[in-house]
Every structure is written in structure tokens, then in C-alpha cells.
Amino acid sequence: IDISTLRSVTGGVTTIDAGFKNTSSCKSAITFLDGEKGILRYRGYAIEELAEKADFLEVSYLLIFGELPTKAQNDKFHRDIQKQSLVDTDVKKILDGFPKTAHPMGVVSALTSALTAFNAKSVNVDSEEEMYDAVVKILAKLPVLASWAYRKEEGLPLEYGDSSLGYVENFLKMMFDLPNEEYKSNPVIVEALDKLLILHADHEQNCSTSTVRVAGSSHAGLFASISAGISALWGPLHGGANQAVIEMLEAIKEDGGGYEKYIEKAKDKNDPFRLMGFGHRVYKNFDPRAKIIKVAADEVLADLGIEDPVLDIARGLADVALNDEYFKSRNLYPNVDFYSGIIYRALGIPIPMFTVMFAIGRLPGWIAQWREMRLNKEPIGRPRQVYVGATERPFVDVEKR
């Protein structure tokens, strides 16, 4: 029985599932996730194996087109992305209009939407060629826009990268290369960042991905739908959590470094405080991504020889919470954002850019999900509601109110 027949035979009975905790919005062949067992696979490949053996662009290709690229496809994909890494210079004028204090997520969302104006032709999802072209463009240009948002905030001149470099290395160069200075990247950092992007690349129907699918279900264009996804990602309960983690740790440090008090606050039901970076809607076991990234975080910190009281607080907090009955009984574990914030901080990426890094990582997932939604010819996303407002009332003239 289909859902509209069900509705008519039951006289309009509907289900209410706030937060869609047990509602599937689509069938998808992209990402498999078992939150109870802590399993995550992209197109059938274990996240652990992909993080160890593949690079971010290979994983992007896999997510979007369904198969790992052959050597020739992989080389071409890298080359085509390098060729598209320029942005229409008029986009700089839009960037000029933002105050320096603007949050980079707002800037990147707006500039991604603006790309629509400079790439007016909407993507015909049934054409492999047009789809490939759009994929290559957006994968190439988002890191440029992200680095510009950062450089604008820092008052630095806008730069393009060096297209002979790998994707992650090039992004780091665009971010941190100052004029007349030779930027040298560290392979440990490049590898850790590449891994982080892979771990963030897709996560089935999370808030921002559902936003991309719903926006795109009205046949809104790819770039416009992605811009909507970036806005959804911004919130502190989703992608903004990595920024919130470091802000929380810094606040604890300012307060003398005693994190036990904050663990008690998080447990107090009369206190709205939550431990940022703990808990996940779907993983009710350890987040498999957190396991991988914890190791990478340790490697980066050891390699860079970083000693940072904020990071000591992070370690202590995680140890205590992991052994606390409140967190254990609710299956609240550190999630990927707990550790990603630590790596970004160690790399010198400024706090407001943390969520932008997440957006760069999630981009291939958004594209893959948008494409799948359109290829499956899914109907426009339009949930119902249970109305709880006033019953019918007569209108009252303004003088009589």
C-alpha cells in the first residue's frame, strides 16, 4: 500500500516524528551506516579501508559516480579539477561587500550560491557529461572560495593555488601562503587533513544532506542546493559542533581548567549545557570515524610537538566522560567533531574556519545525494504536519481588537 492510499483509507491519519528519528526519506545506495554496531561504508567499502588507502578525490569519485575510478579516470579527474580552479573575478566584488567580521560559513554559502549566476546553465542530471562538468567545477572552486573567506577575514590578498599540487596541499597553500613566502606543507598534516575530509565525505541523511535533497527536489540547481546545505551545516548541533568544541574547551581553560565541573553541568537536567562533541543521533556505539581520527590527531600532535593546555583538557574530559555512568548509559561517546576540532587547532586553522573545513569534506556527499535524488526521480519533499493552532475564528476589525 502506498502512502497516499494509506492516507485516504485512514481518513487522513498521519504519523508525527519530530526530528525524523525513525523516518526514512528515501532509498539510497550511497552510504551504509549501522549506528548500533558502529559501521560506516561508502558504496560498500569500509570507512577504515578508504581512510587508510584512498585519497579524498578518489573517495569523491566513488561517492558521486558509484565506483572507484580506474587509474586513467582518477588521473583525468585530478587534472580536470586542477583546470577548473579559477573563479570568475566578479565573485571577488561580492566578497568585497562582506564585512571582515562576517562568519566564513555565511560568506562561503553566499559565494557558492553566487556561482550559479556565473555558471547559469542548470545541470542536466541525465547527461553524464554535464554532471561530470558540474562536479569538477564545484569540487575545484569551493576550496578557493573557502580560502578567500579566510584571507578576507585576515586582510590578506586573495590568491589562487598551484594547480600542480594535490587537492589538500593546494588548499593549504591557498590558505597559508603569504605573498613572497614559500609555503612548505608537512606530509603528516596533508595526510591527516585528507583523512579528515574522507571521514566527513558522506553520512547518509544527516541534516545538511537532507537539506540538499529537499532543496534539490524542487529541481533547484546543484550549486543552489549545496549552498542551502552549507547553511544547514553551520548550526552548532551539526557541523558547527567542531567550533563549539574548541570554544567550550577554551572556556574551561579560562575557568581554571577544571573540567569535572562541566561534566556535572552536562549531567544536570536543569542546566542547558551539553558537552560539545559528545553524542550522535545515529551512533549509539563509538563513532567509527572518531576512532580513526583520534589516531591521526595523536600523530599530528606528536609530529608538530604541540603542547597545548586546551588539548590536555580535551584528553582529560574524554577519559572521565567515557567512564561516567551518565554518558555510558546514554551511549554518549566523543564524535568525529570532538577530534577534528583538535586537529584543526593544531594545524593553525582559525576557529571560524572549522565548519568550512567540514563543508569541503561533505561536498562530494552532497553532490552524490543530489544526483541520486534526481536520477531516482524523487517527488518534491513536502512533509505534512499535525495542526495544533486555533480552531476557526471570525475576523475582528482592527478598531475592535
Q: How far is the CB of 335 from ligand ACO (least distance, A)?
A: 4
Report how far residue 323's alpha carbon sits from residue 381's, in angstroms, rounded to the nearest whole number: 42
Q: How far is the CB of 145 from ligand ACO (least distance, A)?
A: 22
Q: Answer yes or no: 280 catalytic.
A: yes
Cβ neighbours, 10 Å, residue 29: 11
Report how far residue 94's alpha carbon sits from residue 78's, in angstroms, rounded to the nearest whole number: 28
Q: How far is the CB of 332 from ligand ACO (least distance, A)?
A: 5
Q: How far is the CB of 137 from ligand ACO (least distance, A)?
A: 26
- 156 vs 322 by CB, closer to ligand ACO: 322
Side chain identity at residue 175, one-letter code: M
Binding residues for ligand ACO, per CB under 6 A?
237-239, 241, 266, 274-281, 330, 332, 335-337
Report how far residue 146's alpha carbon sits from residue 136's, in angstroms, rounded to the nearest whole number: 16
Cell reading at 70: 580506474
Cβ burial 214-234 (10 Å sphere, 16+ → b, else e): bbbbeebbbbbbbbbbbbbbb
Cell reading at 139: 569540487
Q: How far is the CB of 24 from ligand ACO (least distance, A)?
A: 16
Side chain identity at residue 240, one-letter code: G
Helices and strands counted in the chain (H then E): 18, 3
- 140 vs 248 by CB, closer to ligand ACO: 248
Name the residue with the smallest CB distance to ligand ACO. Answer: 279
Residue of 103, 200, 203, 280 with catalytic role: 280
Q: How far is the CB of 310 from ligand ACO (least distance, A)?
A: 17
Report how far residue 104's alpha carbon sits from residue 120's, in angstroms, rounded to the nearest whole number: 24
Report how far residue 370's alpha carbon sits from residue 258's, in angstroms, rounded to the nearest whole number: 45
- Report how far Cα 155 is from the mean position of its chain's Cα atoms: 26
- 26 vs 282 by CB, closer to ligand ACO: 282
Q: How far is the CB of 323 from ligand ACO (least distance, A)?
A: 15
- 115 vs 230 by CB, closer to ligand ACO: 230
- 34 vs 75 by CB, closer to ligand ACO: 34
Residue of 177, 194, 202, 337 with catalytic role: 337
Q: Answer yes or no: 96 catalytic.
A: no
- 147 vs 335 by CB, closer to ligand ACO: 335
Report how far residue 312's alpha carbon sits from residue 66's, in angstroms, rounded to the nearest whole number: 41
Report how far residue 282's alpha carbon sits from residue 296's, in angstroms, rounded to the nearest whole number: 23
List Cα–Cα distances, 226 to 121, 211, 241, 296, in angstroms: 16, 9, 19, 28
HSE value, Cβ hemisphere, 13 Å, CA-based, for 57: 23
- 125 vs 357 by CB, closer to ligand ACO: 357
Contact assessment for residue 223 and residue 113, using Cβ atoms and an 8 Å cutoff: yes
Which residues are tagged catalytic? Answer: 280, 337
